[in-house]
Chains A and B, each alone.
Chain A
């Protein structure tokens, strides 16, 4: 009996620290995590009274108790708090794989992910109310900035050797594709985080669309990247 409990605790511990197979990632961990998070967010959106547009309404408007009264804001907070439990198994799985390829990039990516989780928990605690807007925006920058950096570092770990080898053997098409993807990813992340940051100091430097739109762009792009990186990593390393 004690052994069985110990075994189950061990299985849960291994899942939480990302020690599981690629099939598990693909079939269970990724779909379950995404489903729980997006279901909570969608419930919060359904509860939102009135019109909601991604170009004018920030993600955080769903967590604003004035704009989205109970239970709407509560589901938003639950969605972001749930990331503290749902997200580590995802990125620690990537970390265990990528650290075998490039230690520095993988470690920097994982540190950035922990910063991002801290930001997400703060986002759930501090809604975008005028009195606490600064701390809310700092939380947004931590969560989006952390996630953006993490995905960029993970991506660099993946393509580090590919670029070297493709350049050495003159696979110019591949070099170009890899460089362009890396540039576009970094450009979108940097521009988005810059636009969101500009709101913190109330400086009118936002020159391309409002920060609510950038929040949504980064949010969707990072989720897609996480999905993509997890899927392209092979079952076994060569």
Chain B
């Protein structure tokens, strides 16, 4: 497993992928497959945090309605 990771990291010289949102070049370590595309960790966080926030708000509303 570790050997594979090392080979993968060393085999490419860093910038083989492109984020489908910000179009920045990415190294293997930062290129995350998501929904059939490649995305950088920063854009993925930006994409998912609002979803997480909406879900937390939904849960809070449910809890509040259940209490009062």
Contacts and interface: CB of A to CB of B under 8 A. Distances in A.
B45 A177 contact: yes
B55 A181 contact: yes
Contacts of B20: 234-236, 238
A234 B59 contact: no
Which label, helix, strand, loop or mixed, suits the secondary structure of the A interface?
Answer: helix
A97 B20 CA distance: 15
Nearest to B9: A169
A67 interface: no
A184 B55 CA distance: 7
Interface stretch (A68-76, A145-153, A160-168): A160-168
Contacts of B45: 173-174, 177
Given A181-B55, A208-B66, A217-B58, A234 B32 contact: no
B65 interface: yes
Which label, helix, strand, loop or mixed, suits the secondary structure of the B interface?
Answer: helix
B58 A165 contact: no
B29 interface: yes
A177 B53 CA distance: 10
A181 B41 contact: no
A228 B35 contact: no
* Those 3 A-B pairs whose CB atoms lie nearest each other, nearest first: A234-B37, A161-B33, A234-B20
Interface of A: 55, 97-98, 100-101, 158-159, 161-162, 165-166, 168-169, 171, 173-174, 177-178, 180-181, 184-185, 188, 208-209, 213, 217, 221, 224, 228-229, 232-238
24 contacts: A55-B65, A158-B36, A161-B34, A162-B32, A162-B34, A162-B44, A166-B32, A174-B41, A174-B44, A174-B45, A181-B51, A208-B66, A217-B58, A217-B62, A224-B54, A229-B35, A232-B35, A232-B47, A233-B35, A233-B36, A234-B37, A237-B37, A238-B20, A238-B37
